[in-house]
Amino acid sequence: MNSALLGPADIRELAAALGVRPTKTLGQNFLHDANTIRRIVRTAALEPAEPVLEVGPGLGSLTLGLLEAGHPVTAVEIDPVLATALPATVAARLPDAPLAVLTADALRLRDLPGPAPTALVANLPYNVAVPVVLHLLERVPTLRAALVLVQAEVADRLAAPPGSKVYGVPSVKAAWYAAATRAGAVSRTVFWPVPNVDSGLVRLVRRRPPQTTASRAQVFAVIDAAFAQRRKMLRSALAPWAGTAAAAETILRAAGVDPTARGETLDVAAFARVAEFG
């Protein structure tokens, strides 16, 4: 099939032409499988022509998939060589496609040019995947949903419900902003270079944070304290945050939370109540 998307040979050719040697520090593993790219775009369940924010477009694999499906893309890439090359790569395959490229660190992103993106779709750099998701949900209020490709283990954590083995800080903080669900696995063979971990998709749909008089920062401070010592009962784990174990116990009781429970059993609304009484 004649396709605008990048296959394995295109990826190698582009990388060679640009002198790109993928770095681990920037999590540079490029997708080179058209079926996977189209599956990611389908799984994102976007509205027709919905404007998309993509973090880390790299050589343009997913960017082309999104543009091919009719979505205007704002792409934020930290690597200036990749960011500079992207418009030409896209223009050669999809002339006049609506693409805006920003050379920037997604973790420092504040204002975006062009139509306000309402969805994030990204094959994220694995070492900063969770902070990027949280930062963007906080900083880009127009985002209503996200579909992100991350390390399988991180995908499990983001989507974990309270009480599950892998429930932790990423799960609760993501739950502050959105409902997260696993949306399939992606084989390591569709990346170049091949990563040494498996990958998974997570879909996040924004929802209202729990109603509370505490600020987000206050709630997140309780979450951090509770999981800093996750095997401890909350009255002990929260002692450094509350001042003493006795103070923590009083706050927990006022919030209607069992002081002998562990943080891994609490949902985000319970953490918000604890912060409110703290």
Return the number of other C-beta atoms located less than 10 Å from residue 161's C-beta: 11
Return the number of other C-beta atoms located less than 10 Å from residue 72's C-beta: 17
Pick between residue 82 and residue 175 the one whose CB is nearest to ligand SAM.
82
Pick the piece of the chain touching ligand SAM (CB under 6 A) from 70-78, 111-119, 208-216, 262-270.
70-78
Q: What is the largest distance, in Å, between two alpha-carbon atoms of the chain?
A: 68
Q: Give the residue among 117, 119, 98 at the shortest CA–CA distance from 45.
A: 119
d(CA 258, CA 255) in angstroms, rounded, equals 9
Query: Does residue 278 touch ligand SAM according to CB under 6 A?
Result: no
For the CA atoms of the chain, what is the radius of gyration?
21
Phi, psi (deg, nearest 5) at residue 98: -75, 95
Interaction residues for ligand SAM, span 124-153 (CB under 6 A): 125, 128
Find tokens 């304290």 and name the residue: 225
Q: Which of 34, 44, 62, 121 binds ligand SAM (CB under 6 A)?
A: 62
Pick between residue 104 and residue 261 the one whose CB is nearest to ligand SAM.
104
d(CA 249, CA 257) in angstroms, rounded, equals 9
Q: Which of 79, 156, 249, 264 binds ligand SAM (CB under 6 A)?
A: 79
User: 219, 272 in Cβ contact below 8 A?
Assistant: yes
Q: Which of 57, 117, 168, 200 binds ligand SAM (CB under 6 A)?
A: 57
Q: Which of 5, 15, 36, 58 binds ligand SAM (CB under 6 A)?
A: 58
Pick the piece of the chain touching ligand SAM (CB under 6 A) from 59-67, 179-187, 201-209, 254-262.
59-67
Annotated binding residues for S-adenosyl-L-methionine, written as ranges, equal 29, 31, 56, 77, 105, 123
User: What residue ranges bind ligand SAM (CB under 6 A)?
Assistant: 26-31, 55-59, 61-62, 76-79, 82, 105-107, 123, 125, 128
